[in-house]
């Protein structure tokens, strides 16, 4: 049998051991972690809706009307009118003709990719795509061709050299770097090479585009240009669940074929109603997005002045590059001593030598909160204007 204990010890020695903190109470910047009050900068609750009274009220109302359990899969008797209402709202919100509600983004990626590509087909996947995309590609049993991050020239060569059914899949906003995929170029390439484009906009929905409609609509791309868009409710929307949106025919196809849609219990209807309420809030609340953009600019200006190395990101995901995994853990621990919670992200989530603190900003952070974070970083700031840290690796991950 494998020596599992030794593998854990090896991880500890390499600074790659993972632990969980126990959070008490609601998710918000001021949170209790392992019993200690902390100011958090690592949640994906970008708009600060996870603890919003309107969403809680919608869920409570939904619970008292419809009870709790989903009771069955969608194709047996679990497809509640609340799910249907959410799908219609989603189609309108995303500017697509249809939408399908999944239990999580992980399940959506696994189900959608494995349904739309199979044995004998080819899936082209960005090197920095999310783990759930990578697993969806593997599950499909298609040939997987990984292209260098956001490199449309390399992708074009791969597409030109491949026959048969082709699917291109990319994050809209990359979850660990915060940069945005070259969606317009990708759409043009897919059109030229008759490939189906799938964009997972887990981090774009709610934050980017007109009324928070995501990175695809931020670039004005239609359903013909980007046929399949995936999003999650677990991040900016502050609830739970996920969706795919696109042509009605494809949605119908997925109901027939997406195994992670078919063989799982429907989400509690009350949660679907909370997500409906969340879409209403997200659409309306430009002020939250404006404050968030202000925080992003302020953070980048201050951190650059402190000689920290950032990534070219305009989104609330602002990685602070460190390089070595143990050094990233130490910086995180130094901040923690000051009551600041910023998690270190290490391999295999990011490439070797590209460990970082993944700072995420939220519309519920105040200017004073951000000042505290910047003061915390200032206490551990790099000494020189010419950092001797190694250049950040851009190698393929996982
Ligand atoms: C978080 C994330 C997912 C998974 O979504 P969940 O609803 O949390 O399962 C999928 N794709 C990307 C890019 C993500 O960042």
CATH of the domain at 132: 3.40.640.10
Residue 119 known to be catalytic = no
Domain housing 293: 22-47+286-383
pLDDT tens for residues 55-64? 999 999 999 9
Q: Is the dihedral of CA 223, 228, 234, 239 positive or negative?
A: positive
Looking at the fold, whether 251 and 297 belong to one and the same domain comes out as no
End residue of a domain, out of 284, 308, 333: 284
Is 203 among the residues known to form the active site?
yes
At 384 the pLDDT is: 61
Confidence of residue 15 (pLDDT cuts 50, 70, 90): confident
Are both 262 and 213 inside the same structural domain?
A: yes
List, for residues 228-282, the tens digit of each pLDDT value: 999 999 999 999 999 999 999 999 999 999 999 999 999 999 999 999 999 999 9
Ligand 1 centroid to Cα of residue 6, in Å, is: 31
In the reported structure, the alpha carbon of residue 129 is separated from the centroid of ligand 1 by a whole-number distance in angstroms of 11
Q: Please tell me which residue in 166, 203, 291, 365 is annotated as part of the active site.
A: 203
Indicate the pLDDT class of residue 388, thresholds 50, 70 and 90.
very low
Long-range contacts formed by 256-261: CB under 8 A, 24+ apart: 257/115, 258/100, 258/111, 258/112, 258/114, 258/115, 259/111, 259/114, 259/115, 260/102, 260/103, 260/107, 260/108, 260/110, 260/111, 260/114, 261/74, 261/100, 261/102, 261/107, 261/111
* Mean pLDDT, rounded, for 150-179: 98
User: What does the DSSP 8-state code read for residue 75?
Assistant: I
pLDDT at position 132 over 50:
yes
Which pTM value belongs to this model? Answer: 0.94
Q: Hey, CA dihedral for 377, 378, 381, 384, is it positive or negative?
A: positive
Reply yes or no on whether 257 is catalytic.
Answer: no
Whether residue 248 sits in one domain with residue 226: yes
Please indicate, yes or no, whether residues 81 and 199 belong to a single structural domain of this protein.
yes
Do 233 and 210 lie in a common domain?
yes
Is residue 391 situated within a structural domain? no
Number of compact structural domains in the chain: 2
Section 315-334 average pLDDT: 96
Q: What angle do CA 72, 77, 79 make, to 5 degrees?
A: 90
Q: Which of 266, 284, 302 is the last residue of a domain?
A: 284
Is residue 369 located within the same domain as residue 240? no
- Shared domain check, 115 and 249: yes
> In this structure, which residue's CA is closest to atom 5 in ligand 1?
105
């Amino acid at each position: 049998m494998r020596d599992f204990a030794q593998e854990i010890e090896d991880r500890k020695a390499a600074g790659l051991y993972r632990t969980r903190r126990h959070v008490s109470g609601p998710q918000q910047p001021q949170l209790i972690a392992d019993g200690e009050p902390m100011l958090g900068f690592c949640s994906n609750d970008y708009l600060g809706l996870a603890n919003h009274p309107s969403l809680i009220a919608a869920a409570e109302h939904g619970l008292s009307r419809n009870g709790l359990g989903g009771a069955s899969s969608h194709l047996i008797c679990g497809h509640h009118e609340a799910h249907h209402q959410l799908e219609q709202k989603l189609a309108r919100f995303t500017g697509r003709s249809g939408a399908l509600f999944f239990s999580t983004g992980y399940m959506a990626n696994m189900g959608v990719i494995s349904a739309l590509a199979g044995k004998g087909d080819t899936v082209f996947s960005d090197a920095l795509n999310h783990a759930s995309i990578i697993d969806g590609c593997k599950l499909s049993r298609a040939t997987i061709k990984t292209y260098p991050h956001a490199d449309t020239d390399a992708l074009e060569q791969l597409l030109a050299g491949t026959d048969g059914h082709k699917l291109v899949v990319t994050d809209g906003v990359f979850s660990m770097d915060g940069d945005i995929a070259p969606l317009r170029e990708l759409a043009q390439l897919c059109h030229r090479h008759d490939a189906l484009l799938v964009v997972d906009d887990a981090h774009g929905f709610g934050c980017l585009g007109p009324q928070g409609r995501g990175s695809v609509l931020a670039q004005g791309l239609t359903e013909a240009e980007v046929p399949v868009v995936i999003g999650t409710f677990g991040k900016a929307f502050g609830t739970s669940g996920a969706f795919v949106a696109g042509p009605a025919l494809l949605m119908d196809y997925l109901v027939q074929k997406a195994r992670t849609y078919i063989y799982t219990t429907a989400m509690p209807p009350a949660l679907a109603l909370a997500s409906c309420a969340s879409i209403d809030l997200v659409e309306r609340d430009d002020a939250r997005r404006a404050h968030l953009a202000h925080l992003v600019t302020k953070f980048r200006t201050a951190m650059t002045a402190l000689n920290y190395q950032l990534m070219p990101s305009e989104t609330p995901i602002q990685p602070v590059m460190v390089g070595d995994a143990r050094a990233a853990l130490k910086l995180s621990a130094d901040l923690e001593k000051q009551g600041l919670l910023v998690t270190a992200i290490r391999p295999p989530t990011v490439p070797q030598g590209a460990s970082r603190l993944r700072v995420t900003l939220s519309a519920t952070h105040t200017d004073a909160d951000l000042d505290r974070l910047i003061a915390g970083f200032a206490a551990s700031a790099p000494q020189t204007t010419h950092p001797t840290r190694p250049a950040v690796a851009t190698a393929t991950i996982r």
